[in-house]
Amino acid sequence: GDGMEHRNSTVITGEGPFTATNSLSTFAHEFFHCWNVERIRPKSLEPFNFEKSNMSEALWVAEGFTQYYTSLIMKRAGLISQHDFNRQMASLVNAKENTPGGSRYSPVENSQRAVFVDAGVAVDQTNYRNMFTSYYAHGAALGLALDLQLRTQFNKTLDGFMQQMWKVFGRTEKPYSLPDMERLLASFTSPAFAAAFFKTNVYASSPINYPALLQAAGLEIKKTFAGKAWIGNMNYTMDTTRLVIAGNTIKNTPLYDAGVDIDDVLLQVGNSKVKQPEDVETELAKYKPGANIRVVYQHRNMVIEKNVTLGENPLISITQLESAGNKLTTAQETFRRSWLDSKAGNGAD
């Protein structure tokens, strides 16, 4: 399936029975594209040349902000629950903070790599797991951060900033560059804030203090697998007789540090021989993070043994404070309602 925005139309395709109700997220995403991309349009997308690799530095805005609003407008419309919204925001934070592409490379770089990663060329065997995170997720995570920063620091919103983007670039159909966007953000907030945001989050990829930002809405970040031993998130081939690594291992994980890589065969973890992913999980359940164990694997024609130190999975979840029996403050409840409740009928533009 696919949703594809054009200058004056949108085409949505899918397999099987196709209705608005079973494809709400695609409809919501393409609905926001009616403004963002179809009219609020990066200069680097024009003119589009189907015979060249059109490289754009602004897909983190064009697709990323649209992806953020996909979840936000569905929550405001009552089409997804608070729990589902929390889960979707957690996936964005994980993409930004807990993947090499999100933590080590800027959204500009991830946008520019789109033409080499998307569509047909994505089947190429590359090391993109260690140097690329989708500009959809990366940009949406920045949209989340910017929205919360605007609300906490300036009593303004990303809604308001996108309205300014519409008035200056969308309604006039004047394509924007990233310096144009920075200048507009400076006039909307302050030159110092805009300069810092672009320097640290757009042209670089600095860590973002999501726990503090989400605390204002009474949302809490927690480790999803706290206290459980972890050797790295791995994909394996469908081979049922042996455990073959299907993709590149990820930097700063125990398997990567051990030298395990794509197409290697994992033979032993700890004291157990392994042939299925469940074998690995069963053995890891015997240990705690920080434990030192032996890993045996076959690399080409060599059998290699390494000692590795098990880590703790960095993936996070987002939960509501009240789910743990805590009570929201009046300020937190007001903040959350202003952010996530419907805007229909309140006179908003």
User: pLDDT at position 348, please?
Assistant: 46
Q: Are 171 and 39 in contact (CB under 8 A)?
A: yes
pLDDT (tens digit, 9 = 90+) per residue, 30-42? 999 999 999 999 9
How far is the CA of 133 from the CAs of 26, 64, 121, 198, 225, in angstroms?
A: 20, 11, 16, 18, 22
User: Taking the chain, what is the end-to-end CA distance rounded to the nearest angstrom?
Assistant: 33
The per-residue pLDDT string of the chain (349 residues; one tens digit each, 9 = 90 and over) reads: 789 998 899 999 888 777 766 788 999 999 999 999 999 999 998 887 777 778 899 999 999 999 999 999 999 999 999 999 999 999 999 999 999 999 999 999 999 998 888 765 555 567 888 899 999 999 999 999 999 999 999 999 999 999 999 999 999 999 999 999 999 999 999 999 999 999 999 999 999 999 999 999 999 999 999 999 999 988 899 888 899 998 889 999 999 999 999 999 999 999 999 999 999 999 999 999 999 999 999 999 999 999 999 999 999 999 999 998 899 999 999 999 999 999 887 544 4
Report the 10 Å Cβ neighbour count for 348.
10
Instruction: State the pTM of this model.
Output: 0.92
Q: Are 265 and 241 in contact (CB under 8 A)?
A: no
pLDDT (tens digit, 9 = 90+) per residue, 171-180? 999 999 999 9
* CA atoms within a 13 Å half-sphere pointing along the CA-CB vector of 50: 0
* φ, ψ for residue 226, nearest 5 deg: -60, 135
Angle between helix 135-154 and 330-340 (nearest 10)? 130
Classify residue 143 by burial, with Cβ atoms within 10 Å: 0-12, 13-18, 19+. buried
